[in-house]
């Protein structure tokens, strides 16, 4: 038995209302259970409860045992002075308020239907499973699940937004610079994401803006700061980049001692950091005000057209500087751009709208829903239980569901978990 189950019972009033009394045999009439408080303080706020002949308005505190009131030191915390009812599973001691009056207490242990208690225990059984409700997940109503997934997606978006607002503070609310940082990290993917971020934060974004018209200078800046121009390579393009980087380094006082080394190991050639940096350079060479362009476009197709960039000719037959490869255009793939939409563009749009007080929920929902679902073990796992997931919004929501609810046993805060218990 966990306390959050008692929260569930009280929130949804899932207990017998026949002759409800306090431990002092005073009749209880619950007019409103109050608002669930997920922060510090009493568990439910602004409840309205009639105890005896007196109507009370105040807060409700919930514990497994009455003595937990003292174990948690509530008697010394004035925040709990406005508690009007103590709801417990087991009553083992009387609790007294600061004025020495007995705190009215309701015991739930004998008021719960056996089937509901069995469902709860089954849901949280110790048997090892991928998720607690994997045998009942498929029974969830489609509309209920779809609405929950949309809520989960925007919950995940809120979490991602914290990084954006931190970058905003660090750049004095320079949206173009923040977009550049976010794009760079995601161009680096998981293997080189932190390295790319350290690279682009090693110089002022104003330097990029000053050299943006020259693709060769952009490549020199990126590759030089990444430490990829420190070797002796007998190639004209490489030597030109070296020469330009020395010039830029002296002109702008560049240093890269804090840049994280790039990794090539176990990467497909198309994901080599050299190719991704060349593509990032081409993107910023082609779009002088990329942030404004991204804010103006709304659809997946429009964004894909923005990212239709061509790297310099050198990379047509190279994946790195030291050897030639068969000729192949190094354009950004459709799948890669979709990842950028999910991890950068949707987040940036959401945050920017928040600062303006605008609601872009419908725009972002349509944008991310137009993307095919991601292919990872979490999405695959849920698809085996409920084979109806098909778009990027749903797959992002499933990541949030698994990581923040299923893995943390937060079933009673999950719509699916609640729906299972509500059937009883």
Secondary structure string (H, E, C) spanning the chain: CCHHHHHHHHHCCCCCCCCCECCCCCEEEEEECCEECCCCCCCEEEEEEEECCEEEEEEEEEEEECCHHHHCCHHHCHHHHHEEEEEEEECCCCCECCCCCECCEEECHHHCCHHHHHHHHHHCCCCCCCCCCCCCHHHCCHHHHHHHHHHHHHHHHHHHHHHHHHHHHHCCCCHHHHHHHHHHHHHCHHHHHHHHHHHHCCCCHHHHHHHCCCHHHHHHHHHHHCCCCCCCCCCHHHHHHHHHHHHHHHHHCCCCCCCCCCCCCCCCHHHCHHHHHHHHHHHHHHCCCHHHHHHHCCCHHHHHHHCCCCCCHHHHHEEECCEECCCCCCCCCHHHHHHHHHHHHHHHHHHHHHHHCCCCHHHHHHHHHCCECCCCHHHHHHHHHCCCCCEHHHHHHHHHHHHHHHCCCCHHHCHHHHHHHHCC
Q: Would 418 be classed as within a structural domain?
A: no
CB 220 within 8 A of CB 245: yes
Among 112, 138, 156, the domain boundary falls at 112
Give the span between the Cα atoms of 170 and 200, in whole angstroms.
13
84/60 Cα distance (integer angstroms): 6
Asked if residue 84 belongs to a domain, the reply is: yes
Characterize 327-365 residue by residue with b for buried, 16 or more Cβ atoms within 10 angstroms of its Cβ, and e for exposed. eeebebeeebbbbbbbbbbbbbbbbbbeeeeeebeebbe
pLDDT, position 49: 97
Reading the block at residue 254, the tokens are 């560049």
Given 337, 368, 400, the domain boundary residue is 337
Last residue of a domain, one of 337, 360, 376: 337
Q: Which residues pair with 105 in a beta bridge?
A: 86
**Euclidean distance between CA atoms 73 and 82, whole angstroms:** 15
Asked if 208 and 304 sit in the same domain, the reply is: yes
Q: Does residue 160 sit within a domain? A: no
6: nearest Cα among 125, 132, 75, 90: 90
Is 118 contained in some domain? no
CA gap 92, 113 in Å, rounded = 22
Closest listed residue to residue 365, CA positions, set 389, 396, 393, 342: 393
Residues 100 and 210 grouped into a single domain: no
What is the model's pLDDT at position 122?
86
Query: Per residue in 200-225, is it b (16+ CB within 10 Å) or e — as a string?
Result: bbbbebebbeebbeebbbbbbbbbbb
Q: Is the pTM of this model over 0.75?
A: yes
Give the separation between CA 181 and CA 196, rounded to whole angstroms. 8
CA 371 vs. chain centroid, Å, equals 18
- Is 413 a domain residue? no
The confidence score (pLDDT) of residue 424 equals 58
- Asked, for residue 378, whether it belongs to a domain, the answer is no
Asked if 310 and 209 sit in the same domain, the reply is: yes
Query: Residue 44: inside a domain, yes or no?
Result: yes
Cα 185 off chain centre by: 16
Whose tokens are 């991890």? That residue is: 343
Residues 216 and 105 in one domain: no
Question: What is the spatial distance between Cα 82 and Cα 57, in angstroms, rounded to a whole number?
Answer: 9
Q: Locate tokens 């809120």: which residue? A: 158
- Statement to judge: residues 104 and 199 lie in one domain: no
pLDDT at 388: 87
Q: Are residues 207 and 90 in the same domain?
A: no
Number of folded domains that form the chain: 2
On whether both 108 and 218 belong to a single domain, the answer is no
- Burial (CB < 10 A; 0-12, 13-18, 19+), residue 26, is middle
Q: What's the confidence (pLDDT) of residue 423? A: 74
pLDDT of residue 366: 98
The tens place of each residue's pLDDT in the chain, 424 residues long, gives 889 999 999 999 999 999 999 999 999 999 999 999 999 999 999 999 999 999 999 999 999 999 999 999 999 999 999 999 999 999 999 999 988 899 999 999 999 999 999 889 888 876 778 999 999 999 999 999 999 999 999 999 999 999 999 999 999 999 999 999 999 999 999 999 999 999 999 999 999 999 999 999 999 999 999 999 999 989 999 999 999 999 999 999 999 999 999 999 999 999 999 999 999 999 999 999 999 999 999 999 999 999 999 999 999 999 999 999 999 999 999 999 999 999 999 999 999 999 999 999 999 999 999 999 999 999 999 999 998 899 999 999 999 999 999 999 999 999 999 998 887 5
90 and 203 part of one domain:
no
Q: Which two tokens stand for residue 420?
A: 């299972």
* Residue 313 and residue 207 share a domain: yes
**92 is in which domain, residue-wise?**
3-112
CA distance 205 to 175: 11
């Amino acid at each position: 038995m966990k306390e959050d189950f008692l929260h569930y019972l009280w929130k949804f009033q899932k207990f017998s209302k026949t002759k409800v009394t306090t431990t002092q045999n005073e009749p209880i009439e619950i007019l409103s259970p109050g608002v669930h408080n997920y922060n510090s303080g009493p568990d439910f706020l602004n409840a309205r409860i009639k105890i005896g002949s007196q109507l009370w308005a105040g807060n409700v505190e919930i514990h497994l045992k009455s003595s937990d009131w003292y174990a948690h030191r509530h008697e010394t915390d004035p925040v709990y002075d406005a508690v009007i009812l103590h709801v417990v599973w087991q009553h083992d001691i009387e609790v007294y308020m600061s004025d020495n009056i007995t705190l009215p207490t309701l015991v739930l242990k004998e008021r719960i239907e056996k089937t509901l208690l069995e469902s709860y225990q089954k849901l949280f059984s110790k048997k090892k499973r991928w998720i607690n409700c994997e045998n009942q997940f498929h029974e969830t109503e489609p509309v209920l699940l779809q609405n929950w997934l949309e809520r989960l997606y925007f919950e995940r978006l809120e979490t991602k937004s914290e990084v954006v607002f931190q970058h905003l503070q660090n750049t004095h609310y320079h949206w173009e610079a923040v977009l550049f940082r976010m794009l760079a990290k995601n161009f680096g993917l998981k293997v080189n994401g932190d390295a790319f971020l350290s690279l682009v934060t090693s110089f002022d974004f104003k330097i990029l803006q000053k050299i943006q018209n020259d693709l060769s200078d952009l490549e020199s800046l990126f590759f030089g700061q990444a430490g990829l121009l420190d070797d002796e390579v007998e190639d004209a393009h490489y030597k030109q980049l070296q020469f330009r980087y020395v010039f830029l380094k002296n002109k702008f006082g560049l240093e890269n001692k804090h840049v994280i080394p790039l990794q090539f190991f176990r990467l497909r050639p198309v994901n080599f950091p050299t190719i991704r940096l060349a593509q990032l350079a081409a993107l910023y060479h082609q779009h002088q005000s990329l942030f404004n362009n991204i804010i103006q476009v709304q659809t997946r197709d429009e964004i894909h057209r923005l990212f239709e960039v061509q790297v310099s000719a050198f990379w047509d037959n190279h994946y790195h500087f030291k050897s030639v490869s068969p000729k192949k255009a190094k354009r950004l793939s459709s799948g890669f751009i979709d990842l950028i939409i999910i991890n950068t563009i949707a987040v940036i749009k959401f945050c920017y709208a928040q600062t303006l007080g605008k609601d872009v929920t419908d725009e972002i929902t349509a944008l991310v829903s137009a993307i095919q679902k991601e292919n990872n073990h979490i999405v695959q796992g849920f698809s085996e239980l409920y084979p109806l997931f098909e778009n990027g919004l749903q797959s992002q929501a499933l990541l949030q569901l698994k990581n923040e609810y299923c893995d943390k046993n937060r079933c009673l805060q999950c719509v699916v978990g609640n729906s299972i218990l509500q059937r009883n």
